[in-house]
Amino acid sequence: MRPPVAGKGGSLFRGTSIGTTWFWLGAFALLPGLALLLVSVLDKGEIDFFIPVLTLRNYEELLGPVFLTVLWDSVRLAALSTLVCLLLGYPFAYRVARARPKWRPWLLLLVIIPFWTNSLIRTYALILIIGAQGMVNKVLLGLGIIHEPLAMMYTDFAVFVGLTYTLLPFMVLPLYASIEKLDPTLGDAAKDLGAGSLRTFWHITLPLTLPGIVAGSMLVFLPSLGMFYVPEILGGAKNLLLGTFIKNQFLQANNWPLGAAASTVLTILLVLMAGLYRFVSLRVSGRERKGLLPGALGDPDVMNGKKRRARDGETAGAKNAGGA
Amino acid sequence: MALWLKRSYLALVYAFFYLPLFVVFVYSFNSNKYTTNWAEFSLKWYQSLLSNSALLDAALNSLLVAVCAASLATFLGTISALAFKRYRFFGRKALYIAIFMLTVSPDIVMGISLLIMFIALKIELGFFTILVAHTTLCAPFVAVTVLARLAAFDEQLIEAARDLGASEPEAFRHVLLPLTAPAIAAGWLLSFTLSMDDVLISTFTTGPSFEVLPVKIYSMVKLGVKPDVNALCAVMFVLTLVLVLLAQTISQSRRNQ
């Protein structure tokens, strides 16, 4: 991109727009981020939420059995949900991306609607399905398959279903974006050269859609660690998961520094996954993409299924990638 | 894979998406208090929502925050997208990465980071703090949406406008803005939805003096299935539906021009 052409009103507009960008990102993103990091190495006070005494005690406490159990339970559930979303979502996204052009916008719209719908409401809706008096139990009892209602609520299973259900659209949309971009003739070529379906998938489709897979996994995995309301609505108070742990430090235990340290752990996971995304998307595109910013974290279209749809004018909307 | 198999798989996943919402919708018209047994069609739960003044207050608060935050976020996001597209400047790459990271960062982290900042600055939690928080939540999405639209935009159009004597602001106003208008509008609608729906950030960034709808819904939902909650969820779902369709229509109509 060329530097701006100097001219009448140009420098003022330039200065204002750059200044505004710097201001809001600095004041509302950078500053709070630094505050979080700082509080995570402070001590908690008797009256104040934190006192200006530097310590690494919070991080030491995170290494204790309490937090490690919470972290392990959360990561296990999040990873399982991510995996199931991927297994359910990949063939689904593939079929949508390869549907007839006439149908495709409608099929996509039907994914975008739950994507925009409040996941709190969607979590609540699940109670009517998997609750003791829910649809599943009614159907199974009615068919005589079971004689007592299955206790699905307030179990790990319920939390797993809840996370999978609310976050599946976040997996499907990035997958769709990267599958749609894939040139179908590549697969045909592989088949002409004698590769079977499985081999074509393994050597062509899968590697080329890897950015979509990583992006989708990131958009499912990270929010499922932080969305405290899903386990709180479906799982009862039995499973203490990371999101609830962090929330409790701030709203109940008043141990802000510990909560800040736990959030820092979550942020580190975010940075690692973003790095992985950048790595695979650069490998797939083979070179840094032009058009957007050179060298930035890949282009955002795969990340949130937005760019392509916006460019095609289908929709420019995607919901909060960080977990609504 | 056989065609019917492919189609039934699609249908199955769509059923998974929509069945729970459909059930909530249907039960919201059920007159029976014990929501899982159907009695007869009734609008009484909607009426009970309308007589719940605390809920209506929260809804009004949320509307106010959503409109203000969406507008502010759209302004900030659009300005930044234009700056990224048009100019080279100090920290451009870092800021771009920051915007990207903000769109994928877990909401809970954003919520508590802002909470810490507000408390450290001794700002009382309420309308102002939640407005700032929701603007921070939404602006990156607007920026990414508008940038995506700009990526397809031919730089030479601006150069042509400049050659024809337009000043930089004029070129922005008469060339860039109209072309990006659909993305800006969609960004606003998305921001509005995000703000109306946000539980995680709102939990941390507003105080008891300023209750918002999603947090209120959360406190109701936690108590289990209730018919008036069904009605409330149905209303929220229909609202979202309207906004999505509106965003779609805006993008579609612009494209066909």
CA A243 – CA B230 distance, rounded (Å): 26
Q: What is the pLDDT of residue A303?
A: 37
CATH number for the domain spanning B229: value is: 1.10.3720.10
CB-closest option in A122, A304, A306 to B21:
A122
Q: Cβ–Cβ of A22/B91 closer than 8 Å?
A: yes
Give ipTM to 2 decimals.
0.89
pLDDT at A236 > cutoff 70: no
Q: What distances in angstroms separate CA B188 from CA B96, B110, B242, one per listed residue? A: 20, 20, 14
pLDDT (average), residues A150-157 = 86
Alpha-carbon distance B8 to nearest alpha carbon in chain A (angstroms): 11
Q: What distances in angstroms separate CA B120 from CA A25, A34, A258, A312, B112, one per listed residue? A: 18, 12, 16, 45, 12
Cβ distance A91 to B5 under 8 Å? no
First to last CA, chain B: 40
Radius of gyration of chain A (CA): 23
pLDDT at A105 > cutoff 70: yes
SS (H, E, C) A190-234: HHHCCCCHHHHHHHHHHHHCHHHHHHHHHHHHHHHHHCCHHHHHH
Comparing B224 with A280, the larger pLDDT belongs to A280
CA A27 – CA A8 distance, rounded (Å): 30
Q: How many domains, in total, are found in chain B?
A: 1
pLDDT at A299 > cutoff 50: no
Q: What is the pLDDT of residue B36?
A: 66
Q: Cβ–Cβ of B240/A118 closer than 8 Å?
A: yes
Lowest mean pLDDT: which of A7-16, A211-220, A227-236, B49-58? A7-16
Give a yes or no: residue B33 inside a domain.
Answer: no
Helix (H/G/I), strand (E/B), else coil: A51: strand
pLDDT at A1 > cutoff 60: no
Residue A28 carries which DSSP code? I
Q: What distances in angstroms separate CA B111 from CA A260, B88, B97, one per listed residue? A: 11, 31, 20
State the DSSP string of chain B. Answer: --HHHHHHHHHHHHHHHHHHHHHHHHHTTB--SSTTS---B--HHHHHHHT-HHHHHHHHHHHHHHHHHHHHHHHHHHHHHHHHHH---TTHHHHHHHHHHHHHS-HHHHHHHHHHHHHHTTPPSSHHHHHHHHHHHHHHHHHHHHHHHHHTS-HHHHHHHHHTT--HHHHIIIIIHHHHHHHHHHHHHHHHHHHHH--HHHHHH--TTS--HHHHHHHHHTT---HHHHHHHHHHHHHHHHHHHHHHHHHHHHHH-
Residues in B closer than 8 angstroms to A308, CB to CB, are 148
CA A52 – CA A43 distance, rounded (Å): 7
Please work out, in degrees rounded to the nearest 5, the angle formed at the alpha carbon of residue A232 by the alpha carbons of A229 and A237.
155
CA A168 – CA B14 distance, rounded (Å): 11
Lowest mean pLDDT: which of A3-12, B175-184, B242-251? A3-12
pLDDT (average), residues B79-88 = 88
CA B83 – CA A20 distance, rounded (Å): 9
Nearest-CA residue of chain B relative to A22? B95
CA A152 – CA B167 distance, rounded (Å): 65
CB-closest option in A7, A307, A309 to B168:
A7
CA B87 – CA A5 distance, rounded (Å): 9
Give a yes or no: residue B6 inside a domain.
Answer: no
B85 half-sphere exposure, CB direction, 13 A CA radius: 25
Reported as a pLDDT band with limits 50, 70 and 90, residue B254 is low
pLDDT (average), residues B195-221 = 92
User: What mean pLDDT, rounded, does chain A reach?
Assistant: 82
Q: What is the pLDDT of residue B194?
A: 93
CA A181 – CA A203 distance, rounded (Å): 17
pTM assigned to the model:
0.87
Give a yes or no: residue B27 inside a domain.
Answer: no
For chain B, percent of residues with pLDDT exceeding 90: 53
What is the domain class of A59-312 according to CATH? mainly alpha
Which one of B9, B27, B144 would you mutate to disrupt binding with A, by most A Cβ within 10 Å of its Cβ? B144
For chain A, percent of residues with pLDDT exceeding 90: 45
Which one of A103, A118, A224, A252 would you mutate to disrupt binding with B, by most B Cβ within 10 Å of its Cβ? A118
Q: What is the pLDDT of residue A9?
A: 53
CA A50 – CA A61 distance, rounded (Å): 16
Give the sign of the dihedral formed by CA A54, CA A59, CA A65, CA A71: positive
CB-closest option in B91, B109, B198 to A263:
B109
pLDDT at A318 > cutoff 60: no
Domain residue limits at B151: 41-256
Q: Cβ–Cβ of B243/A116 closer than 8 Å?
A: yes
Q: What six digits make up the tokens of B252?
A: 């579609």
pLDDT at B202 > cutoff 90: yes
CA A176 – CA A159 distance, rounded (Å): 26
pLDDT (average), residues B50-65 = 93
Reported as a pLDDT band with limits 50, 70 and 90, residue B40 is confident
Cβ distance A171 to A216 under 8 Å? yes
Residues in A closer than 8 angstroms to B147, CB to CB, are 292, 300, 307
Give a yes or no: residue B9 inside a domain.
Answer: no
pLDDT (average), residues B2-18 = 91
Reported as a pLDDT band with limits 50, 70 and 90, residue A286 is low
pLDDT at B14 > cutoff 90: yes
CA A43 – CA A249 distance, rounded (Å): 13
Distance of CA A154 to the CA centre of its chain: 24
Range among A127-141, A285-299, B25-39, B110-124 with highest mean pLDDT value: B110-124
pLDDT at A151 > cutoff 60: yes
pLDDT at B218 > cutoff 80: yes
Residues in A closer than 8 angstroms to B6, CB to CB, are 95
Digit-coded pLDDT (tens) for B62-74: 999 999 999 999 9
Q: Cβ–Cβ of A263/B108 closer than 8 Å?
A: yes
Give a yes or no: residue B192 inside a domain.
Answer: yes
Digit-coded pLDDT (tens) for A252-271: 988 999 999 999 999 999 99
CA A282 – CA A286 distance, rounded (Å): 6
Please work out, in degrees rounded to the nearest 5, the angle formed at the alpha carbon of residue B232 by the alpha carbons of B230 and B233.
65
Residues in B closer than 8 angstroms to A267, CB to CB, are 105, 109
Q: Cβ–Cβ of A128/B248 closer than 8 Å?
A: no
Digit-coded pLDDT (tens) for A160-180: 999 999 999 999 999 998 998
Cβ distance B53 to B210 under 8 Å? no
Comparing A62 with B254, the larger pLDDT belongs to A62
Which one of B248, B253, B254 would you mutate to disrupt binding with A, by most A Cβ within 10 Å of its Cβ? B248
Digit-coded pLDDT (tens) for A6-65: 444 567 888 988 999 999 999 999 999 999 999 999 998 877 788 888 889 999 999 999
Q: What is the pLDDT of residue A109?
A: 92
Digit-coded pLDDT (tens) for B117-165: 999 999 999 999 999 999 999 999 999 988 888 877 777 888 888 888 8
pLDDT at A207 > cutoff 70: yes
State the DSSP string of A58-79. Answer: HHHHHTSHHHHHHHHHHHHHHH
Range among A31-40, A96-105, A186-195 with highest mean pLDDT value: A31-40
Q: What six digits make up the tokens of B110?
A: 């954003």
Task: List % helix, strand, coil for chain A (3-state, nearest 5).
Answer: 70, 0, 30
